[in-house]
Structure formats: C-alpha cells, structure tokens
Chains A and B, each alone.
Chain A
C-alpha cells in the first residue's frame, strides 16, 4: 500500500497570501492518478485537482497542482476566505487500492 504524507499539518496564512501544500508518497505514483480535495467543516470532500494538474470543473484558476514520482504540490495563489479548509491528496495504486493523505489544514492567521 502506498502511504501519502502531507505537510505541513497546519498552515497559518492571511487572506491574499499564497499557500503551498505538499504530498509525499512512499512509492512512485502514476501522475494520472494523483488528486486533491478540499473539505470544509461539516461537508463532504470536494474534488479540486485530478491527474496531478487538471482542475475539476468550476474550480477557480488560483488552484494549481504539480509534481511527479513521489512528490506533489497543491498551490493556492491569493487565498480567499472560503479557501480556509482542510486539503487531502489521494492516489490510486492499482489492485485496485486508493489511499488518502492525512490532510493539511489551512487556517486564518
């Protein structure tokens, strides 16, 4: 099973600042199978990015994803009030088997 480790655990930033979230995999991940989700309190996860860098429909272009192999990042340029939430990366490793990272909380500084 591929383990995803996200860092930092918590990111304290002000509105308008840039956020960079990391997701490190214990083994190489197919870039086509790396996704990012946003979860607000009391809500289901919402797909932001799939295939490492493709934005899901309706997702603002301030969200971007990059990476390859074992290291992936999610960037949010110019944090809006609604962006303060928890973010998860997710990978598919075949078998089939999907795993999630433990999450990064982006909080208001």
Chain B
C-alpha cells in the first residue's frame, strides 16, 4: 500500500520560506511524477509543480520564480521550498504521486500553512 507522509512548519511570517517534505513508502519511487498542490478558498486546487526521482522538476509558471523542489532517493523523499511568502500563500499543501496526465493517484494528508505576521 502506497503511503505519502508529509511534514513541515505550519505557521510562517511574510517574507519567510516554506519548507515541506514528503516521504513515500510502500511503492516504487522511480517511474512516477511527484507533485505539490495547494488549496485555498480563494484559488481552489492549484498545482505547484512536479519532480521525478532524478530530480528533473517543472514548476507552475505563476510560482516558478519562488519554488524549488529537491529529491532524496536514499530516503524516498521529496521536498518543496517556497520563498518570499505572503498571505496569499496561505492554504493546505499536499504532496501526491502521479503520472504524465494525472496529478495524483495517492496523496499526502495535507499540511495547513498559515502566513501571518
């Protein structure tokens, strides 16, 4: 059974950097895309970007300048960093396993991120 477990700081101040990590267990880490998605009442579900086990990453154009993904294949983990946070970055962040046309067949439990001074 594939399980995605995510963690990271949930309360941040404007201009700070968000860091989240997602650990994958119960399945192969290669052969899939690993995405980050966020959800807010204002924007709904928003795809942030995806990476592969090789670390080849693609980002949403709207967030590209502030996002970086990294991969640790020894631990079957992938991570998100989002810089220069503002209140508009508040929401629930999810990691997910997907394929070419599919964002996620398995999802992490979600992390509520609040950006407030």
Which residues of A are in contact with B by a Cβ distance under 8 Å? 30, 32-35, 44-47, 50-51, 56, 88, 90, 92, 95-103
Contact = CB atoms under 8 A, between A and B. Distances in A.
Nearest to B58: A96
A35 B98 CA distance: 12
Interface of B: 35, 44-47, 50, 58, 60-61, 94, 100-105, 107-110
Nearest to B6: A44
A92 B110 contact: no
Nearest to A34: B101
B67 to A, nearest CB: 14
A98 B107 contact: no
B101 A51 contact: yes
Contacts of B35: 98
Contacts of A50: 101-102, 105
B110 to A, nearest CB: 5
A44 B103 contact: no
A76 to B, nearest CB: 20
Contact of B47 (A46, A97, A103): A97
A92 B107 contact: no
B107 A30 contact: no
